[in-house]
Structure 1
Amino acid sequence: MYRRLLILTLGTFSVGTDSFVIAGILPDIAHTLGVTISAAGMLITVFAFSYAVLSPVVAATTAHWPRKRLLLGGLLLLAFGNALTALLPSYGPVLASRAVAGLGAAMFTPTASATAASLVPPEKRGRALAVVMAGLSGATALGAPLGTVIGSEATWQATLWFVAALAVLGALGIGVLLPAVPPVPAIGLRKRLAPLKDARIGFTLLTTVLVFTGLYTNYSYVAESYDRATGGSGTVLAGLLFVWGLGATAGNLGAGRLTDKVSPRWIIATAVTVAGIDFALMPLTNRHLPAAVVAVFVWGVCGWASLVPLQHRLITVHPAHATVTIGLNAAATYLAVSVSGLTGAAGIALVGAHRLSLFGLGFLVLGLLSSAVATRLIERGEERTAPPGAALST
């Protein structure tokens, strides 16, 4: 079972690297294409927005496809999109190529998460989701920093070729090692969006959007936010991204185990609160490298510790619609990443790059409030259906 989960992790690692590596090479892209840093940040926005919008559409239109074919097709399209980004000479076509890569990610990641959840019994879903999502968090620890170093020592185009190679490698691993996975029952787009009518699902997804918008408002422009600590060095920035990724991996895996034992609402509340305190202190901690190392580690831990319990909450509320709700949560996550390119640019204009975390802090506070509303709605539902004295766990 875990061998199959690790095979899926290969693919999420390539998707994660593509998602996070652009932030580390953003200044070089802006210089080459002759655009502002904010305009270059739209490469992040277009990729993530393509993913967010197309995820439910792809899920509805490809429901009859065998899961293995969909996983392979997603990774190969991801590789093709990155090859286009590396080859195209001007800003407009490069933006379009990021949409192509986003489509590949939309095909792969929700399918991988839902497949992982279906491979294990309910009491082990948290750990299964954490193993597959470790590909994304591991990409922040290894893929994105390595891609940043490649871009710093060679060219940013070389970084995109690196990402394309990772996607092809992931496709090969799935093609050779993953057994055939049958398609899920076909569900139309309208039915896929139907869970949004449930306020418990709606507020949980809203929590994902708000929290990850706050977290990635700063990440999208991390090169500018931490230029005092890095001295403008791409290699030092890669080191900071590596530390952030280590924290993300620790937070993801730790939350996976905790979610099977502790109520997800406490994990979400604790992670977002600590992240908020960390963000409030960042205008001070991003001045010097030692303090920056601590700050980005805490940022990574808390950011990724919230993802697994949010997924687990959605599955618990509607077990029969797990594939649908996990896909919607993945779309919500990437919608937040796409919005963060815009909120980051707005934050820089309003408060400056070094205080950008304060702008993101507002979204974290709103996310904490949204999570509290979702928790209360879930508890009310359980009070109506559970016998007296039953434990609340969501």
Structure 2
Amino acid sequence: MDTRIYWLAATVFLAGIDENICIGILPSIAANLHVSLASAGQLTTIFSCVFALTAFGLSMRFARFERKRLLLIALGVFACSNLLASLSPGYALLFAARVAMAASCATVILLATRLATELAPPRLHGRAIGIVFMGISGSLVLGVPVGMTIADWAGWRAVFVAIGLAVVPLGCYLAYRLPVAPPHAAIAWRTYRSQLAHPETLCAQFVSIAMIGGHFTLFAYLSPYLQTWLAPRPAELTLLYVAFGVAGVTGAWLGGWLSDRAGASRALRLCPAAFLLAMAALPLSGHALALFVPAMMIWGCLSWSISPIVQNYLIRSAPAAADANVGINVSAMHLGVALGSGFGGLLVERGALLATPWAGSGLVALALCFAWRSTRMPAPQHARASIKAEAADA
């Protein structure tokens, strides 16, 4: 595998920390800024909404620009927005900083995903995407627990300072290693419309929305959930996030591997079914740490498997529309995050924090239905239909 793919994964690692760090330090932010847990949780919701809108709009336009330059600009905005967050005197400015973070992170992740598939041969596309998404799940193994430790030691603001400074040497390295490539042809709106009008492709996008939405119904409020369900000490809470993150890294790799080996369509059906069982097992495991931790790790593993599976499925189904479908899917993933964190926030506001796993399981059941519908058409016919639609647009 091209080593540059791993450096792209490193950029996604930092973006993943930014996306998920508020989940780990949610109680600290709420207490310091004198807002409710649900209000602090909306920092994740707004991040995901802006991310989704940016990814969708950018995927239509970024082909007109040289990708290396655009990536470096995004990393610059990323660094500045984190430093701004660290200086926020109140909730409003932190909210605005999260908007800028989301836009830059969307750009970084979208570009990293597409550059990874361009650097890898077609037979390894699933694994290349899996490596990039290991950057996001890896942020849970190292980034979020380390961020929680920094927050306990120096306050939550120091976390954003550390993230903003860490991206500077990485940006310099990528400026040296990535080649300059000419811009691609712009993607017409008709291309997006044709893919969204295709039932199988659209259902695959809904798999991402529903499954990630179900996951974030609980995950966005995982810290208060764990504190209520298991009452762990701060050090134990950090270790629980480490366990979750280790499982997530494994899941990102496993999703890419399974998609290449078992076939994208079969993997698309298997992942939501297994995830539904894993998420429902969490409240059934009781308050015993010995039962809950394995169930949580299986849940974490499968939660990070779906993104490389769906993206590989979309790329293989309609190669000519890969840029459009990946852009739509990155948006769909973060619509799922916004849906789940918003839905979870409503439950938390109503005192139903412990019901979040069951509510999330309901959304995952919808994802399984969408996956089954998407793969009903045989793969060769699906691919021909997609390519035919692309030819008509051209």
Look up the match of 2:365: 365
Q: Contact 2:77/2:101 (CA < 8 Å) preserved in 1?
A: yes
Q: Contact 1:23/1:222 (CA < 8 Å) preserved in 2?
A: yes
Letter paired with 1:159: V
What is the rounded CA distance, in whole Å, between the counterparts of 1:380 and 1:369 in structure 2? 21
Q: Contact 1:140/1:248 (CA < 8 Å) preserved in 2?
A: yes
Q: Contact 2:271/2:306 (CA < 8 Å) preserved in 1?
A: yes
Q: Identify the range of structure 1 (56-65 vs 80-89) with the bigger mean alpha-carbon deviation.
A: 56-65
- Shift of residue 133, structure 1, vs aligned partner: 1.5
Q: Contact 1:282/1:355 (CA < 8 Å) preserved in 2?
A: no
Look up the match of 1:355: 355
Look up the match of 1:390: none
What is the rounded CA distance, in whole Å, between the counterparts of 1:368 and 1:30 in structure 2? 35
Look up the match of 2:392: none
Q: Identify the range of structure 1 (298-307 vs 170-179) with the bigger mean alpha-carbon deviation.
A: 170-179
- Shift of residue 153, structure 1, vs aligned partner: 2.2
Moved over 4 A (4+): 382-385
Q: Cα distance 1:181–1:163, how it changes in 2: closer, same or farther (>3 A)?
A: same
- Shift of residue 49, structure 1, vs aligned partner: 0.9
Structure 2 counterparts to residues 64-213 of structure 1, below 5 A = 64-189=64-189, 191-213=191-213
Q: Contact 1:228/1:287 (CA < 8 Å) preserved in 2?
A: no
Look up the match of 2:4: 4
What is the rounded CA distance, in whole Å, between the counterparts of 2:155 and 2:181 in structure 1? 39
- Shift of residue 232, structure 1, vs aligned partner: 5.0
What is the rounded CA distance, in whole Å, between the counterparts of 1:49 and 1:237 in structure 2? 28
What is the rounded CA distance, in whole Å, between the counterparts of 2:24 and 2:250 in structure 1? 21
- Shift of residue 384, structure 1, vs aligned partner: 8.0
What is the rounded CA distance, in whole Å, between the counterparts of 2:356 and 2:112 in structure 1? 33
Residue 355 of structure 1: SS of its match in structure 2? helix
Structure 2 counterparts to residues 322-333 of structure 1, below 5 A = 322-333=322-333
Q: Contact 2:51/2:105 (CA < 8 Å) preserved in 1?
A: yes
Look up the match of 2:290: 290
Letter paired with 1:263: G
Look up the match of 2:214: 214
Structure 2 counterparts to residues 6-21 of structure 1, below 5 A = 6-21=6-21
Q: Cα distance 1:312–1:90, how it changes in 2: closer, same or farther (>3 A)?
A: same
Post-superposition CA distance 1:112-164 (Å, at most 9, x none): 11111122222111111111111111111111111112112221111111222
- Shift of residue 104, structure 1, vs aligned partner: 0.1
Q: Contact 1:248/1:302 (CA < 8 Å) preserved in 2?
A: yes
What is the rounded CA distance, in whole Å, between the counterparts of 2:281 and 2:251 in structure 1? 20
What is the rounded CA distance, in whole Å, between the counterparts of 1:384 and 1:66 in structure 2? 31
Look up the match of 1:272: 272
Q: For structure 1, list consecutive stretches of 5 or more residues without a partner in the other structure.
A: 386-394
Q: For structure 2, list consecutive stretches of 5 or more residues without a partner in the other structure.
A: 386-394
Q: Identify the range of structure 1 (169-178 vs 87-96) with the bigger mean alpha-carbon deviation.
A: 169-178
- Shift of residue 351, structure 1, vs aligned partner: 6.7
Look up the match of 1:391: none
Look up the match of 2:33: 33
Look up the match of 1:245: 245
- Shift of residue 382, structure 1, vs aligned partner: 4.6
What is the rounded CA distance, in whole Å, between the counterparts of 1:151 and 1:66 in structure 2? 38
Q: Contact 2:18/2:163 (CA < 8 Å) preserved in 1?
A: yes
Q: Cα distance 1:111–1:226, how it changes in 2: closer, same or farther (>3 A)?
A: same
Q: Contact 1:251/1:303 (CA < 8 Å) preserved in 2?
A: yes
What is the rounded CA distance, in whole Å, between the counterparts of 2:336 and 2:233 in structure 1? 28
Normalised to the residue count of structure 1, the TM-score between the two structures is 0.92
Q: Cα distance 1:235–1:180, how it changes in 2: closer, same or farther (>3 A)?
A: farther
Post-superposition CA distance 1:332-355 (Å, at most 9, x none): 111111222211112334572223
CA RMSD of aligned residues (A): 2.0
What is the rounded CA distance, in whole Å, between the counterparts of 1:186 and 1:7 in structure 2? 26
- Shift of residue 381, structure 1, vs aligned partner: 2.9
Q: Contact 1:214/1:361 (CA < 8 Å) preserved in 2?
A: yes
Residue 184 of structure 2: SS of its match in structure 1? coil
Residue 180 of structure 1: SS of its match in structure 2? coil
> What is the number of equivalent residue pairs in this alignment?
385
Letter paired with 1:116: A
Normalised to the residue count of structure 2, the TM-score between the two structures is 0.92
What is the rounded CA distance, in whole Å, between the counterparts of 1:326 and 1:383 in structure 2? 16
Structure 2 counterparts to residues 304-323 of structure 1, below 5 A = 304-323=304-323
Look up the match of 2:226: 226
